[in-house]
Structure 1
Amino acid sequence: MIPGEVIVAKGEITLNAGRDAVKLKVANTGDRPVQVGSHYHFYETNAALAFDRAAALGRRLDIPAGTAVRFEPGQSREVSLIPYAGNRVVKGFNAKVQGRLSGAPAPAKKARKKKGG
């Protein structure tokens, strides 16, 4: 093996296999292009994008990490969205959620230290 060499398995990898994907039609009603990254909370995207926002709550694009989808002004396209996994806590973006998504697992309780012990 050469330092830095990457040896990959034969065959193809299916991204997000078995995830509950939904397809939504999205239209850019604005006059500027809008680009959405792979892990951006789709519910909180630019207001110029017209789509069923309720169906997008807690979901992100079903595309490879580090990539994005661009919507040109007046363009419509169908996108596939998958739910966030893990703790399902959404913070930041456009600050429309700022916390735990419904149906998310409860946080693990931390053991409290006793005083003097």
Structure 2
Amino acid sequence: MKVGEVICGDEPITLNAGRATKQIRVTNKGDRPVQVGSHFHFFEVNRALSFDRAEAFGYRLDIPSGNSVRFEPGEEKLVNLVELGGAKRVFGLNDLTRGEAVPRNLATSMEKARRRGFLDYREGPATGFPEGWDNDIEEAR
């Protein structure tokens, strides 16, 4: 063995094995291209991207590390998302989550997104909740 040498196994590597995945439709309603990196909490991406933000809460793009997806103005595409790993703590970015991306924090994050003009799939402020999630938005205030 040499210093810095990498020894790879013979078996193929499966990315994100065992994690929940989903597919959502995204439309860029803005006038500029938007590029989203592999590990960005998809819920918090650019406010001009219209999609079901509640469905994307706690998920990121299901692409290899270091890659990204580009959305041209007016472009609509389906993207695959994968559940965040670890403690699902999200800080910074657009500061919509500021904590764990788990169901009990969705209402607060959706309210922040709505107030700040982030679009969702209804073409308006983010308001949607996936079935089975607590949808009492008043709790967030």
Q: Is TM more than 0.5 here? A: yes
Deviation sequence 1:15-34 (CA, Å, 0-9, x none): 01121101001111111110
RMSD: 1.6
CA distance in 1, matches of 2:67, 2:39: 9
- Structure 1, unmatched stretches of 5+, are 105-117
- What secondary structure sits across from 1:43 in the alignment? helix
Matches within 5 A, 1:60-75: 60-75=60-75
- Structure 2, unmatched stretches of 5+, are 105-141
Identity %: 53
CA distance in 1, matches of 2:53, 2:23: 12
TM-score (normalised: structure 2): 0.67
Residue 7 of structure 1 deviates from its aligned partner by 2.5
Partner of 1:113: none
For these two proteins, the number of residue pairs brought into alignment is: 104
Matches within 5 A, 1:1-117: 1-102=1-102
- Structure with max Cα Rg: 1
- What secondary structure sits across from 1:12 in the alignment? coil
Residue 103 of structure 1 deviates from its aligned partner by 5.4
Structure with the higher fraction of residues in helix conformation = 2
